[in-house]
């Protein structure tokens, strides 16, 4: 899942976004009571814009499947219980591969779970290539994953540590001598000769291997199998290269689109699974390719719950609306795009066809009386995404009259 902070301002001259990526094989366990450390909510130095959360081995029993279909899976629900009060909203796309358009740049998010066991490294690489070859997106502008400006690729990749025996690996971990283990890490070895995988970057493995632990402990596997520890849980990224200008000129990332790793750590405090979660925090500096959102929404005036709200909105020249586009009215702190309190189909309810802004009315009379702040979102059916968000505003429960300094009645809203 991807969660985006709706309350951050847009700057057309330049922008720095902070992105927090989480990968965790939860081994069918239920969410723990506290995720503050995992989400870095106690870190006052972070001002995060986007959470990208990928889980593996979520409970897929029949009751879970029924719950997911009718409502929402418990992990997504739990994460949004924590993040929605902080103005984050979950992206509406599902599956292991999500494509986002961020200020005109294309970002691909891939959450994977590759084949296990030490001897299956070739099979893991085969799956890696197959994901790249088979995952295509609708639309002609981005036909393949590798055409995206940024790729985050993370998950339980199941790469293991070769050659060294169990005793040597455990002693190296105990003494925090990780450098010897890096040399035999299958992912590190593969990147040396696989040209495509070499394009993916990773931070230094300065934390202990994240697999395999006895559940509810920080002890590595003490079962009869005594599996050798390994860095199975990884976060990689790849920036799109510019076209090569000549045979002797190296391909470089776009200078207006730069990603910097701020931290790459595991979280040992969580013990519900035989894996430890891993997070990567990034700063993405970019020069926006779009100076304005595709749709600009403006609620007309101050409104009470006694009247319908008139909404004006304008579209950019390159945005094509659909008969199934709609505008939703939301309370600030919404968890999901379906959490609207009222909505209107833009084509069926359009009240202005002049050269000025488009206008529609939205019903606010059935909204319960509340002091909450509201905002408007324009949903594009063809893009399957929110393409315009208004500033927050308040809808007064009712109108009433007071007296000004001259004793005359004046309406207050």
pLDDT above 90 for 282: yes
Distance, CA of 413 to CA of 217 (rounded, Å):
58
pLDDT computed for residue 401 by the predictor: 42
Beta bridge partners of 23: 54, 278
Name the residue ranges covered by the structural domains of the chain: 2-286, 295-400
Of 231 and 64, the structure prediction assigns the larger pLDDT to 231
CB-count burial class (<10 Å; 0-12, 13-18, 19+) for 209: buried
The fourth-level CATH superfamily of domain 2-286 is: Endonuclease/exonuclease/phosphatase (3.60.10.10)
Cβ neighbours, 10 Å, residue 227: 17
pLDDT above 50 for 150: yes
- The pLDDT tens digits of the residues spanning 335-383 come to 889 999 999 999 998 886 666 789 999 887 778 777 788 999 999 998 8
Element (H, E) at 374: strand 373-380
- CA distance readout (Å), 164 to 45, 167, 173, 185, 230: 40, 8, 12, 10, 11
| CATH code at 295-400 | 2.60.40.2840
pLDDT band at 97 (very low <50, low <70, confident <90, very high): confident
8-state DSSP, 134: H
pLDDT computed for residue 405 by the predictor: 37
**Hey, what long-range contacts does 127-131 have (CB within 8 A, 24 or more apart)?**
128/197, 129/196, 131/97
User: What value does the mean pLDDT take over residues 246-250?
Assistant: 48
pLDDT above 90 for 211: yes
Is-same-fold flag (2-286; 295-400)?
Answer: no
pLDDT over 70, % of the chain: 82
């Amino acid at each position: 899942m991807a969660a985006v902070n709706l309350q951050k301002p847009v700057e057309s001259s330049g922008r720095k976004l902070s992105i927090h990526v989480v990968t965790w094989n939860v081994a069918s366990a239920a969410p723990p009571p506290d995720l503050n450390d995992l989400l870095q909510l106690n870190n006052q130095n972070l001002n995060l814009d986007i959470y990208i959360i990928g889980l593996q081995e979520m409970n897929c029993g029949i009751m879970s499947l029924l719950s997911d279909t009718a409502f929402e899976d418990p992990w997504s629900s739990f994460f949004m219980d924590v993040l929605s009060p902080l103005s984050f909203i979950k992206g509406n796309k599902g599956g292991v591969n999500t494509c986002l358009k961020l200020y005109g740049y294309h970002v691909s998010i891939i959450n994977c779970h590759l084949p296990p066991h030490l001897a299956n490294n070739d099979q893991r690489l085969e799956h890696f290539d197959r994901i790249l070859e088979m995952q295509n997106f609708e639309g002609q502008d981005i036909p393949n994953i590798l055409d995206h400006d940024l790729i985050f690729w993370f998950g339980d990749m199941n790469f293991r540590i070769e050659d060294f025996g169990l005793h040597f690996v455990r002693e190296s971990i105990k003494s925090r001598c990780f450098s010897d283990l890096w040399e035999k890490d299958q992912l590190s070895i593969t990147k040396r000769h696989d040209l495509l995988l070499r394009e993916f970057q990773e931070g230094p493995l300065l934390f202990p291997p994240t697999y395999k632990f006895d559940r509810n402990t920080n002890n590595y596997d003490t079962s009869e199998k005594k599996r050798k520890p390994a860095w199975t849980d990884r976060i990689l990224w790849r920036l799109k290269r510019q076209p090569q200008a000549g045979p002797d000129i190296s391909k470089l990332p776009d200078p207006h689109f730069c990603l910097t790793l701020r931290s790459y750590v595991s979280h040992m405090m969580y013990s519900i699974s035989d894996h430890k979660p891993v997070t990567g925090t990034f700063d993405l500096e970019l020069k926006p390719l779009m100076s304005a959102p595709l749709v600009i929404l403006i609620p007309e005036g101050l409104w009470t719950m006694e009247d319908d709200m008139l909404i004006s909105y304008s579209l950019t020249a390159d945005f094509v609306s659909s008969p199934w586009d709609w505008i939703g009215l939301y309370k600030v702190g919404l968890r999901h795009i379906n959490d609207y309190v009222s909505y209107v189909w833009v084509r069926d309810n359009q009240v202005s066809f002049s050269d000025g802004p488009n206008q529609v009315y939205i019903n606010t009379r059935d909204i319960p009386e509340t002091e909450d702040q509201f905002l408007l979102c324009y949903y594009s059916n063809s893009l399957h995404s929110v393409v315009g968000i208004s500033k927050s505003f308040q809808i007064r429960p009712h109108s009433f009259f007071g007296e000004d300094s001259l004793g005359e009645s004046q309406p207050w809203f």
